[in-house]
Chains A and B, each alone.
Chain A
Amino acid sequence: GAGVSQSPSNKVTEKGKDVELRCDPISGHTALYWYRQSLGQGLEFLIYFQGNSAPDKSGLPSDRFSAERTGGSVSTLTIQRTQQEDSAVYLCASSLDKGAHNEQFFGPGTRLTVL
């Protein structure tokens, strides 16, 4: 079956522009995560969605970052007024449910470059 997909795979934008990144989780997966991976760094938690519950936004680095998940499936991460330090790979992951019995599957990521 299809895995987690993300689009676009690469995005180059100018400083100050807004960008939208999309994540299609595996069908039926209720848990969805966004992470940021800067060059040579680990995965930084950004936001978590679980079903219809309020998301955990505690990892969003500033109010320029927001995310939504429509209909419990597709998610978009929006970065407003992009800055050069936003350049990174943005990874989405989904799992069937939360907790230790549910493997987390990653998408291929979106590489964002802010000029």
Chain B
Amino acid sequence: GENVEQHPSTLSVQEGDSAVIKCTYSDSASNYFPWYKQELGKRPQLIIDIRSNVGEKKDQRIAVTLNKTAKHFSLHITETQPEDSAVYFCAALATYKYIFGTGTRLKVLA
């Protein structure tokens, strides 16, 4: 069945450093790849997304890259801040069904 693998499961970085989270998907029909941030006890919130017709998208300190051939997509956070600490989920959408990765717990150390 469809699957999304996400790595690493935990990531600790020093404040100001960059963080990279990687996902791989299996369904070649996937055409939309959102990233969600979930703070402790809160609901997931969309932070950035990318569609299959582009290879990169950037929004301030956050960027996402997509390699459709390899079925890889990645989240890049630059100049990390303590408030970036949260669990991040990637997802892949085919038609209407979202398949989520298992999440990355990011800790930004002050």
Asked if B46 is at the interface (CB within 8 A of a chain A CB), the reply is: yes
Determine the distance from Cα of A73 to Cα of B99 in the docked complex, in whole angstroms. 23
Interface membership of chain B positions 43-81, coded 1 if the CB is closer than 8 angstroms to chain A and 0 otherwise: 111100101100000000000000000000000000000
Interface residues as binary, A38-77 with B (CB distance below 8 Å gives 1, 0 otherwise): 0011111100101000001000000000000000000000
Which chain B residue lies CB-closest to A59?
A: B97
Q: Is the interface of B mostly helix, strand, loop or mixed?
A: strand
- Asked if B12 is an interface residue, CB under 8 A from chain A, the answer is no
* Known contacts A98-B95, A98-B96; A103/B32 CB under 8 A: no
Q: Assess whether A48 is in contact with B97, with CB atoms less than 8 Å apart.
A: yes
Once the chains bind, are B32 and A43 in contact (CB under 8 Å)?
no
B100 smallest CB distance to A (angstroms): 4
CB distance from A30 to the nearest CB of B (A): 11
Interface size of B by CB at 8 A reads 25
Chain A 66-115 residues near chain B, CB threshold 8 A: 91, 98-100, 103-104, 106-109
Interface: B89 (CB within 8 A)? yes
B44 touches A106 (CB 8 A): yes
**Which of B51, B52, B95, B96 has the most chain A CB within a 10 Å cutoff?**
B96
Which residues of B line the A interface, CB within 8 A?
Answer: 6, 31-32, 34, 36, 42-46, 49, 51-52, 89, 91, 93, 95-103
